[in-house]
Structure 1
């Protein structure tokens, strides 16, 4: 007489009902893990940076971005694990910096690697933040083209403009303080290059209704 436990059909049905819908492609599974791990990496490093930032303005930028990315991480986990809409929609990231860019180069000290933690500065920390945000924006843009689940895909693709905005915010902060200088070409060269393309007429769509 066999003593092995045989699950009933009703128990099998219950287990099947508890299983989340597997509505993701195989390649998407690896991309999703990379995305979520990247969000964690950014948030972990922001926690480290927070200990060393001196400028209250940079600290406020970090806190603002940290809160936004944390919410995005939670939304992404929900949509990836369920394949369904999250409990709330993703918001649009709004920065506090003005759009005024300072152009031109001013004398500054040459850069070199730090040799101790005491040499870490707001200039370097803001550069680390910018590097993380830029690389994450590239990852999100690339992987959103290969995600099959429509809800998860929308969450990731809609995140790209937000990360671009966060990167621009950090750039503007750096530019305002001379950390990120923006050289320009000679005016005549800029004018020549800006005038080197012309528009072409666009033929009307033959299927478009004319009112």
Structure 2
């Protein structure tokens, strides 16, 4: 790896700090997680995040290359459930003792979404191609982790997916048309 610019080094500093915060946050969730499926997801993601953190530290220290950088593999994939059923009203807990699996999964999802966006932003500031690829893969890993948590939430009814009526959805889809010859005519 070549010399790192100040801006990209600060972005990697943010990514590493964010990763530490994410690991610590997920560890805080462990005692509140009751569902064995969510416990497995949580533990698997803590292990993955810790390994990813160590890999980035080694890469930045120029002691290894991105070939050691992992791709996140969800424990399972499920088909999404569409539509809403009203659901349970939500409000903040009045005590930490009220924290449940829904709260844990929602906190995990929020953390992972923010981490994916942070890593994508950081990748845009990297001048070193190897570091850029590592940070981009980190953004994709966070997105895959978030999708795994989202699937869990969707299957449990914690995260519903509203849908438009068919005619409204079709009207939005039909609003956009292929570019066609107009783009070709402008280039000649």
Q: How does 1:99-178 map to 2 (within 5 A)?
A: 99-178=78-157
TM-score, length-normalised on structure 1? 0.81
Question: Residue by residue, what CA displacement relative to the aligned partner does 1:13-52 show, whole Å, maximum 9, x if unpaired?
Answer: xxxxxxxx87010111211111101100000111111111
**What is the TM-score when the length of structure 2 is the normalising length?**
0.90
Partner Cα separation in structure 2 for residue 83 and residue 153 of structure 1: 17
List runs of 5+ in structure 1 lacking aligned partners: 1-20, 204-211
5+ unaligned residues in a row in structure 2: which ranges? none
Residue 150 of structure 1 deviates from its aligned partner by 2.2
Counterpart contact for 1:31–1:143, Cα < 8 Å: yes
TM-superposed CA distance for 1:71, in Å, is 1.2
Larger radius of gyration: 1
2:36 to 52, 56, 61: 56
Equivalent residues, number: 183
Could you say what secondary structure the match of 1:147 adopts?
Answer: coil
Please state how far the C-alpha of 1:195 moved relative to its aligned partner.
Answer: 1.6
Distance 1:142 1:51 in 2: 33
Could you say what secondary structure the match of 1:164 adopts?
helix
Q: Distance in 1 between matches of 2:71 and 2:63?
A: 22
Q: Which contiguous aligned blocks of 4+ residues in structure 1 show a shift greater than 4 angstroms?
A: none
Partner Cα separation in structure 2 for residue 189 and residue 175 of structure 1: 23
Report what 1:189 is aligned to: 168
